[in-house]
Amino acid sequence: MLKQSKYNIVTEYEGYSLLYNTKTGSFASVSDVSHEAIINALNDPNGEVEDRIKTGLLEGGFICPAELDEFEEIKAFSLQRLNNKSELHLTLFPTEACNFRCPYCFIYNKRGISMKSEVYNSILQLIKKHATSDHLVHISWFGGEPTLEKVNIIKFCHAVNKLVEENNLRPVIYDMVTNGYLMSSDNFQEYYNVGIRHFQITLDGYDEDHDTTRCLRDGTGTFKVIWENMISLKELKGDFEVY
């Protein structure tokens, strides 16, 4: 027996049904032709449902076994991460400031403060205290807009890498979520050189849509600069990922 996931969000946009499951992160775009079949399958997954539709909905977590307690599964996953003694995953906010003024943002009109040197030092001590040769240390840079604090990020990564080398620890995994506006190839190379190899650059669609919601403080659009930056990264050599 099957049931619809309680974590589904279904909406319509320009002739398509959009399905998103907040538990699995799965997303599906369904044309009008298949809309009714999909909705029927969600509402009655034990009824007459095409195999391909049922398989897709199961794989995405949009429907699931009736006996599955989704909340308990989420809780168990959270506890597993909390009690994981083999990984130290830190999400660092080097600054709450941002060079954008996106209308939906909850950060930019707040305090706008940046992380102080004593906080960086405390994080170093935390890593030194808890990390062992078996630990995986994972540092995620977030914001605000982290690239506004490039100097401090580079300096801190150098310090962490030195700590890793001196204590024979596993190489640190770094990633960064950025709006990409300041991610020129030269700046990118500096981040790459200290070990940041995974980047998520945010776009709100193509240029016209993007520039409506992701603009500078004076209202100027940002798509062109971000896109040119990303194109320039394609010319660089190295093992890195940009999402």
The two three-digit tokens of residue 100, written as one number? 């954008």
| Per-residue model confidence as pLDDT tens digits over 172-188 | 999 999 999 999 999 99
CB 214 within 8 A of CB 223: yes
Is the entire prediction scored with pTM above 0.95?
no
User: pLDDT 10s per residue in the chain (243 long)?
Assistant: 999 999 999 988 887 889 999 999 999 998 877 888 898 999 999 999 899 999 999 999 999 999 999 999 999 998 987 787 778 889 999 999 999 988 888 765 666 789 999 999 999 999 888 777 777 899 999 988 999 999 999 999 999 999 999 888 888 999 999 999 999 999 999 999 999 999 999 999 999 999 999 999 899 999 999 999 999 999 999 999 999
Q: How far apart are CA 9 and CA 7, in angstroms?
A: 7
Number of other CB atoms surrounding residue 234 within 10 Å: 8
What are the φ/ψ torsions at residue 47 (nearest 5 degrees)?
-85, -160
> SS in 3 state form for the chain?
CEEECCCEEEEEECCEEEEEECCCCCEEEEEHHHHHHHHHHHHCCCCCCCHHHHHHHHHHCCEEECCCCHHHHHHHHHHHHHCCCCEEEEEECCECCCCECCCCCCCCCCCCCECCHHHHHHHHHHHHHHCCCCCEEEEEECCCCHHHHHHHHHHHHHHHHHHHHHCCCCCCEEEEEECCCCCCHHHHHHHHHCCEEEEEECCCCCHHHHHHHCEECCCCECHHHHHHHHHHHCCCCCCCEEC
Of 183, 197, 160, 187, residue with least CA distance to 231:
183
| Per-residue model confidence as pLDDT tens digits over 146-158 | 999 999 999 999 9
CB 207 within 8 A of CB 223: yes
pLDDT at site 109: 60
